[in-house]
Amino acid sequence: MATCNLTLPVCSAVSGVIATASAGSVSSARLTNSSFSHSQFFGKSCLSTASTSRPLPAVSRRAATECKINKGDKLPSTTLKDQDGKQVNLSKFMGKPLVLYFYPADETPGCTKQACAFRDSYDKFTKAGANVIGVSADSPESHKAFKQKYRLQFTLLSDENNKLRKDWGVPGDLFGTLPGRQTYVFDKNGVCQLIFNNQFQPEKHVGETLNVLKSI
C-alpha cells in the first residue's frame, strides 16, 4: 500500500504577506457574506502555496463570498463521472448519510494526506452507515490512478471545469486561484448538516465529519 507520510508547510509568503495556518471552521445557518473573503488567512479559508508534483486546476479568480449550499439545504441532484468514467447522480446516495469533500487535486501533498485519512478511517464511516465521495476537477483517468495507488475504498468524482464547485459556492484560497478544501455532510434525508473548510489541516476533515455523523 502506498504510504502517505507527507508534510505541509505551515506558512507561506504571498505578495509580501505572511499567511500562517489556522484551525478549520464549521459553518452554520448564520453564514453571511462576510464569512468568506477573496483570501482569508484565518477562519473559513486558509492560504497555502505548498509545492506540489503537479499543477493545480485553475479556478475562477472571482472568489465566492457566500455558500450557495448552506446548512439545512437539500442535496442537489447532480451527475458527474466517477473514476471509471461512469455517470453518477448524487441522488443515488439518498437514504444514507453522505460525506462529500472537495479537494484541490490528485497527487498533491495535502490532498493525498486527506484521502489517506478518509481511507484509514473508512471502517468508522461504514459503521456510521455513511458514504464518502471525493470531488476535484481531475479527469476520471487521474482519479482511477490515484484511487488505485492509495487503495481508496470510496468514489472519486470528476468535476469538469469546476462546475459543481462553482455551483455550490465553494470558496477558493490564494485570491481564488487555489481550489478550496471543503467538506459537506448530508443526513439520510439529504439535508446538509455540516460545512467544514480547512486548507492547511486536511486530516481534520475526517474528525469533524465523524463527530457530526454520531449526532445524526
pLDDT, tens digit, for every residue of 138-163? 999 999 999 999 999 999 999 999 99
Give residue 107's pLDDT.
Answer: 97
pLDDT band at residue 205 using 50, 70 and 90 as cut-offs: very high
What structural domains does the chain harbor?
11-50+65-215 (3.40.30.10)
Give residue 35's pLDDT.
Answer: 37
Q: Average pLDDT, stretch 3-29?
A: 39
| pTM exceeds cut of 0.75 | no
Burial classification of residue 56, based on how many CB atoms lie within 10 Å of its CB (0-12 exposed, 13-18 middle, 19 or more buried): middle
Give residue 112's pLDDT.
Answer: 98
Residue-wise pLDDT for 94-118, tens only, equals: 999 999 999 999 999 999 999 999 9
Q: Of 67, 111, 116, 192, which residue is the catalytic one?
A: 111
Active site residue 4: no
d(CA 53, CA 105): 10
pLDDT band at residue 180 using 50, 70 and 90 as cut-offs: very high
Residue 175's closest CA among 50, 27, 31, 36?
36
Question: In 65-91, which positions are buried (b, 16+ CB within 10 angstroms) versus exposed (e)?
Answer: eebebebebebeebebbbbeeeebebe
Give residue 8's pLDDT.
Answer: 41
